[in-house]
Chains A and B, each alone.
Chain A
Amino acid sequence: MSDQEHPDRDDDVVLAGEYALGLLTPEEATVFEERLANEPDLRQLHAQWAEDFTALAEEVSPVTPPSRVRKKLENRLFQKAGQSFWQRLARSRLAGAATAAALALVALVLVDLPSTGPMPPDDPVYHADIVSEDGNLVVAAGYDDTNGELYVERSQGAARPGRALELWLIAGDKPPVSLGVLPETERARLTVEPDLRTALDGGVFAISDEPPGGSPKGAPTGDVLAVGEITRL
């Protein structure tokens, strides 16, 4: 790699390195960040530098921060609004639940479910309403213990164009496990692998925004759009 062969690329290699070191002026950094958002090659150059330089941080000895930092953080993040993310979520869901139940009843009376396609379980053991914070994505899920299938019904919202919705199961402290990509149809049945079934108890469902076919990694790569706690019926 020489200046003669790849002058532009060399400039970007240097610029990405300067950015990773924090040497750019605020104005230069802003311009660079705008380019980062649109240029995957530049993102890669930057990520490379950041990874390489991380090795330098090894010589820095860890210093345990005083416990007041943790306390301040807890207050600031989890108590400031008087309620947590989960509490807010549960509340908004409860408010919507009565309406949703009423609507569901109407729907059942007025429209017969199509006789073909996935049907809700007769006697679901677990249920969850997976709802986004703004209420624009609503997916109900019911688990059928007789065949280990999860019935999902999307009543509100859809995947963005060219993207997919992927459903995740999270148990306790474990990392999310994919249950699969939601099909474009509103109703679907997904098989829950036998070793995952116990994880439903007290678990949480989450839906993330993913490329078509689902996350290429074992974990969500896009925004988490909606979450829902699983309740035993």
Chain B
Amino acid sequence: MSKRDEIEAMIARVAIGDKNAFRQVYSDTSAKLFGIILRILDDRSEAEDVLQEVFVKVWHNAGKYQANGFSPMTWLIAIARNAAIDRKRRHGTKTAAAELDDSLPDAGPGPEEKAVQASERARLDACFEELEERRADAVRRAYLEGESYAELAAHFEVPLNTMKTWLRRCLLSLRECLTR
């Protein structure tokens, strides 16, 4: 069974209240999700709170997972990003860079997964290549740092409306490239 199928099966078991399956999902995915949340929030204690929130949602919403057509990691990452971005927007802008010295690097994915991930990543990278560099960077920043239109406009030193126009065009070109 691939890691993806394994996590999928575990989520199905979480949906019927299986605590051990929940603990397994936590063990398998919390480090990745914590990394993603930390990148958006840059504040360890806030990130810990949000991670907790995310898994509370996973416990309560696992039954809805199959219905939304996401792969398991995409579903989990979407929950994590949404929670982190919510927290960030509620608390104003990003706090100063946090010290991450006590964080432990984690074992990454296995070779098989790496190959699948690499091909998906290559496809996306190729499409990003077609975009103007700064625009591609804007999409990355929105996704990885959870930046808002206002933050992006400030970062790229362009008016807010210009930023919106850029990014929207960018999304259309990306979709066109990705479905090619």
Contacts and interface: CB of A to CB of B under 8 A. Distances in A.
Nearest to B44: A66
A76 B22 CA distance: 13
A51 B71 contact: yes
B148 interface: yes
Contact of B106 (A1, A49, A62): A62
Contacts of A53: 143
Contacts of B100: 63
A23 to B, nearest CB: 6
A173 B24 CA distance: 10
Interface in A1-59: 1, 10, 13-14, 17-18, 20-23, 43-44, 47-59
A47 B77 CA distance: 12
B178 A22 contact: no
A18 B171 contact: yes
A22 B124 CA distance: 19
Given A13-B172, A60-B32, A50 B21 contact: no
Contacts of A85: 17, 19
Nearest to A56: B143
Given A61-B106, A77-B56, A77-B59, A175 B13 contact: yes
B15 A224 contact: yes
Interface string B81-100: 11001000000000000001
B63 A73 contact: no
B34 A65 contact: yes
A139 to B, nearest CB: 15
Interface in B105-142: 105-108, 117, 120-121, 123-124, 139-140, 142
A54 B13 contact: no
A102 interface: no
- Chain B interface size band reads 35 or more
Interface string B136-180: 000110111010110000000000000000011001101110100
A224 to B, nearest CB: 5
Contacts of A160: none
B139 A60 contact: no
A55 B9 contact: no
Contacts of B67: 221-222
Contact of A63 (B35, B74, B148, B178): B35
A54 B71 contact: yes
**A interface secondary structure, majority:** helix
Contacts of B15: 220, 224
Contacts of B107: 62
A63 B56 contact: no
Nearest to B169: A14
A43 B21 CA distance: 28
A175 B12 contact: yes
B127 to A, nearest CB: 9
B68 to A, nearest CB: 7
* Most chain B C-beta atoms within 10 Å of own C-beta, residue among A53, A85, A217: A53
B9 to A, nearest CB: 3
B124 A56 contact: yes
13 contacts: A10-B172, A17-B171, A48-B178, A57-B32, A57-B144, A62-B105, A63-B31, A63-B100, A63-B105, A70-B30, A206-B16, A219-B9, A220-B12
Given A13-B171, A222-B66, 19 more contacts: A18-B168, A43-B68, A44-B69, A50-B70, A50-B78, A52-B124, A55-B124, A57-B144, A61-B35, A61-B106, A63-B104, A64-B103, A64-B106, A68-B48, A69-B48, A72-B52, A86-B17, A170-B18, A175-B13
